[in-house]
């Protein structure tokens, strides 16, 4: 993969000039080895999770981030002119910035070696695929799903890149592929912190229940996790919808990213629910269901991105892409839900109940409206303005987010008469 760096860069950004393509290819040579270390981390983390050791896999990315942030600070201190054009970049600058980024991912994997030794794990290489069984089939479907997603991203990235270049040529400050990337990271932040943590802690118990034939327990654990994840995602989406442009104005000095964040965040619930339900299918040794969901999402996002690039004016292309991606994530949720319901129904011999009841749905909708209303009122009452000091802006946004989340929790409790933290305790 690393040797194919120039070709990969061209595939994802064919509209760039030759100078930028060359610079990106050199950076890719430094960064693509991260794939190997990500795989090592994923495998070692799953070994630890299977032994109910969750601390080190959870904190390893934090240690990795410290190394990466340190690398950025070193780069800024050593090369203050790093924000210049393509011709200002030197091999040393690339090595420092991209090399420390790859080092951080290597550290993320290497810090797991010590806890693995503590649980008595010994690494013994085994060549070939003998003994993989169900795991090999799931891995194949997972690989095909990732491939479908990458093909869709090729369409998306080229449409967004062309729109960004057109806006840059016209001197218009509008959304580009970079804007989408930053918005994507913000949307995935609550997913990575909350959903992945909850699903990881649940998966060991889920797999044990499935292996023991306790499919009713599998359905119950999935339903509980799904309910809690829904509350977290809906509350977070409310914050992004109300304050998205203001958040990105404070973080990156532009509201443009926030305009992409708003529609993209509407698919957060789909992202997280797809992840949770996919874990249930994996526990049942079913890799085809998650693949169908990924393939459907890839098709919808690719078609949506292509249509946005052709039909919309450049300032709206990336926003249109964000809408398509949000819809694709919601569609994936529906697909994986149907696959899981069928798989569990066959195992239970009766329909599996996975979706929350009407009372919970009503509580989520009402709480979302309450949170959005409180957020808009709080911004007005606190007199938030873009001319304020950035520290004050950040403090106000944090306060507004806290008010919105509190409003969501209270609204949910008043309807359900059941606090959210009780649902969290039930997952233990």
Q: Are 328 and 300 in contact (CB under 8 A)?
A: yes
The pairs formed by 402-407 with CB atoms below 8 angstroms and a separation of 24 or more are 403/374, 403/375, 403/378, 404/235, 404/238, 404/239, 404/242, 404/371, 404/372, 404/374, 404/375, 404/378, 405/235, 405/239, 405/371, 407/367, 407/370, 407/371, 407/373, 407/374
CA distance 247 to 203: 33
Q: What is the pLDDT of residue 253?
A: 85
Q: Are 60 and 45 in contact (CB under 8 A)?
A: yes
If phi over 0 gives left and psi between -120 and 50 gives alpha, with beta otherwise, what is residue 349? Answer: left
CA distance 53 to 119: 9
Asked whether the whole model's pTM tops 0.85, one would answer no
Question: C-alpha distances in angstroms, 110 versus 57, 116, 140, 196?
Answer: 11, 10, 26, 21
pLDDT, tens digit only, all 428 positions of the chain: 788 999 988 888 877 888 888 999 999 999 999 999 999 998 898 888 878 787 888 788 889 989 998 998 898 888 876 666 777 888 999 999 999 999 999 999 999 999 998 888 877 776 665 556 667 788 888 889 999 999 999 999 999 999 998 998 888 889 999 999 999 999 998 998 888 888 887 888 888 888 888 888 888 889 888 888 999 999 999 999 999 999 998 888 889 999 999 999 999 999 999 999 999 998 888 889 999 999 999 999 999 999 999 999 999 999 999 999 999 999 999 999 999 988 887 766 666 677 777 788 888 889 899 999 999 898 888 777 766 777 888 888 889 889 998 888 888 878 876 666 666 555 55
Q: Is 343 exposed, middle or buried, given 0-12, 13-18 or 19+ CB atoms closer than 10 A?
A: buried
Q: What is the pLDDT of residue 131?
A: 58
Q: What is the pLDDT of residue 152?
A: 95
Q: Are 201 and 54 in contact (CB under 8 A)?
A: yes
The half-sphere exposure of 297 on its side-chain side, counting CA atoms within 13 A, is 30
Question: C-alpha distances in angstroms, 159 versus 2, 302, 312, 338?
Answer: 25, 10, 11, 32
The pairs formed by 188-195 with CB atoms below 8 angstroms and a separation of 24 or more are 188/271, 190/232, 190/233, 190/236, 190/268, 191/233, 191/268, 191/271, 191/272, 191/275, 194/229, 194/232, 194/272, 195/229, 195/232, 195/233, 195/271, 195/272, 195/275, 195/276
Q: Is 320 exposed, middle or buried, given 0-12, 13-18 or 19+ CB atoms closer than 10 A?
A: buried
Q: What is the pLDDT of residue 242?
A: 93
């Amino acid at each position: 993969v690393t040797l194919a760096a120039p070709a990969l860069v061209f595939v994802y950004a064919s509209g760039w000039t030759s100078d930028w393509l060359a610079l990106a290819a050199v950076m890719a040579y430094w960064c693509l080895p991260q794939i190997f270390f990500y795989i090592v981390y994923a495998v070692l983390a799953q070994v630890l999770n299977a032994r109910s050791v969750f601390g080190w896999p959870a904190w390893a990315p934090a240690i990795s981030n410290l190394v990466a942030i340190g690398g950025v600070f070193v780069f800024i201190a050593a090369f203050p002119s790093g924000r210049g054009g393509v011709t200002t970049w030197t091999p040393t600058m690339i090595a420092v910035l991209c090399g420390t980024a790859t080092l951080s991912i290597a550290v993320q994997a290497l810090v797991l070696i010590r806890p693995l030794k503590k649980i008595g794990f010994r690494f013994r290489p085994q060549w070939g695929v003998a003994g993989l069984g169900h795991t090999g089939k799931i891995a194949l479907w997972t690989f095909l799903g990732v491939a479908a997603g990458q093909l869709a991203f090729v369409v998306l990235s080229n449409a967004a890149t062309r729109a960004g270049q057109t806006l840059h040529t016209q001197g218009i400050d509008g959304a580009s592929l970079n804007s989408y990337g930053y918005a994507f990271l913000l949307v995935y932040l609550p997913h990575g912190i909350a959903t992945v943590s909850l699903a990881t802690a649940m998966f060991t118990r889920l797999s044990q229940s499935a292996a023991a034939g306790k499919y009713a327990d599998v359905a119950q654990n999935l339903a509980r996790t799904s309910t809690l994840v829904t509350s977290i995602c809906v509350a977070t989406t409310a914050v992004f919808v109300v304050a998205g442009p203001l958040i990105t104005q404070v973080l990156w000095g532009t509201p443009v990213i926030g305009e992409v964040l708003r529609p993209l965040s509407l698919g957060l619930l789909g992202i997280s629910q797809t992840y949770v339900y996919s874990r249930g299918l994996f526990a049942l040794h079913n890799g085809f269901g998650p693949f169908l969901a990924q393939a459907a999402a890839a098709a919808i996002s690719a078609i949506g991105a292509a249509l946005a690039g052709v039909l919309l004016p450049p300032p709206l292309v990336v926003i249109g892409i964000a809408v398509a991606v949000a819809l694709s994530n919601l569609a994936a949720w529906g697909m994986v839900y149907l696959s899981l319901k069928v798989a569990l129904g066959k195992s239970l011999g009766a329909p599996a109940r996975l979706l929350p009841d009407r009372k919970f749905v009503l509580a989520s909708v009402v709480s979302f409206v309450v949170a959005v209303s409180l957020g808009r009122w709080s911004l007005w009452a606190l007199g938030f303005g873009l001319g304020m000091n950035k520290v004050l802006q950040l403090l106000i946004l944090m306060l507004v987010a806290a008010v919105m989340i509190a409003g969501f929790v209270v609204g949910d409790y008043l309807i359900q008469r059941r606090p959210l933290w009780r649902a969290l305790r039930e997952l233990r």
